[in-house]
Amino acid sequence: MVTPDGSAAHNGTSAADAVDLQTALNYAAAGQTIQLAGGTYALTGELKVERGRDGTAEASITLTTADGSYATLDFGGVGTGFSVWGNYWNISKLNVTNTKDGFKGMQLAGSHCVLEQMNFYNNGNTGLQVSGLSTDNKALWPSYNTIRNCTSMNNADRAMEDADGFAAKLTTGEGNVFDGCIAAYNADDGWDLFAKAATGSIGAVTIQNCVAYKNGYLMLAAEPVKKQPLQFPTVTCDANGNLSFGNVATTVEAGNGNGFKMGGTNFMSQCGRFTCCSADDDRICSSGNLKINHFSQFFKINLVILCKWSDDCNSCSLKYWHTNTILS
């Protein structure tokens, strides 16, 4: 059992004997469940599941709330986010927010994990990134993870050019799946599946039943001031995990704003399969709701794109595109 005021000196057997969250992550074993009390967990550093802290295919490690409510991991603008390097973890009912500028809300670097009903918002870089280390053998890159029914919104670095909603890029292995997820109002892209020649092609990624909306725009509580931290709006989360953004004073145009970006820099890269909707993202013609750089291997797209007026593209009224295309 974990509570916001839990202690490493406790045993975690009950609410009265609750431990802090990092202690629970350090000692969790295959088949165990870490139960969090609802509420806000004020964090000032990094929260981490170390490599080797694994469940198994038959007995995963579960991290969720005790009563089905949402717990909020608030990094206070100074903490550097939540990273999971262990395999076979099932994590649900968490909000991850307010990381330090330049730091992801969450990095998933393990394999065979399931993230479900989680929210990532107002972080200093990408909300959730599936990636490992460039120095690792590709066999260690995160693979066969499922991200289901998660939302990533209003994430932005100070330069407003790097933070995506979701990313599975650079050092991502095979078989990662995003299902039923929403990426909206992120400074850069909704989904970023980019690869570089230095690390080679990423594994195939499946994105299905997902929505990208208004990426390349950002909601703020005040106009951005040069060299000053961004002022994010306040957020509330209801019992069903729905987010509400209050005191939004302005919506500013930010980064590239692709709904879905994939491919590689000057080399052929495999990507994956999409069955998604992209609506009103910033770059609707110059970069596209769907931006493909270079690709190889079998690729299937079933993508609905909705976008509004664009002077750059000489289009007007509401446009609707539906594609069911195979690229090879």
Beta bridge partners of 235: 245
- Is residue 82 classed as helix, strand or coil in its secondary structure? strand
48 is known as an active-site residue: no
Residue 24: alpha-carbon gap to chain centroid: 23
Task: In whole angstroms, give the CA distance from residue 266 to residue 152.
Answer: 29
Q: Which residues contact 165 (CB under 8 A, 6 or more apart)?
A: 120, 126, 127, 128, 152, 153, 155, 182, 183, 184, 186, 189, 190, 191, 212, 215
Question: Which one of 100, 261, 291, 319 is the catalytic residue?
Answer: 261
Task: In whole angstroms, give the CA distance from residue 278 to residue 321.
Answer: 10
| Beta carbons of 260 and 292 less than 8 angstroms apart | no
Q: Which residues contact 121 (CB under 8 A, 6 or more apart)?
A: 95, 96, 97, 105, 127, 151, 152, 153, 154, 155, 235, 243
| Beta carbons of 109 and 74 less than 8 angstroms apart | no
Beta bridge partners of 162: none
Residue 138 backbone dihedrals phi, psi, to 5 degrees: -60, -25
- Could you count the other beta carbons within 10 Å of the beta carbon of residue 311? 7
Long-range contacts of 244-248 (CB under 8 A, 24+ apart): 245/153, 245/154, 245/219, 247/221, 248/219, 248/220, 248/221
Residue corresponding to tokens 């206070």: 76
Task: In whole angstroms, give the CA distance from residue 68 to residue 73.
Answer: 16
Task: In whole angstroms, give the CA distance from residue 133 to residue 119.
Answer: 24
Q: Which residues are catalytic?
A: 261
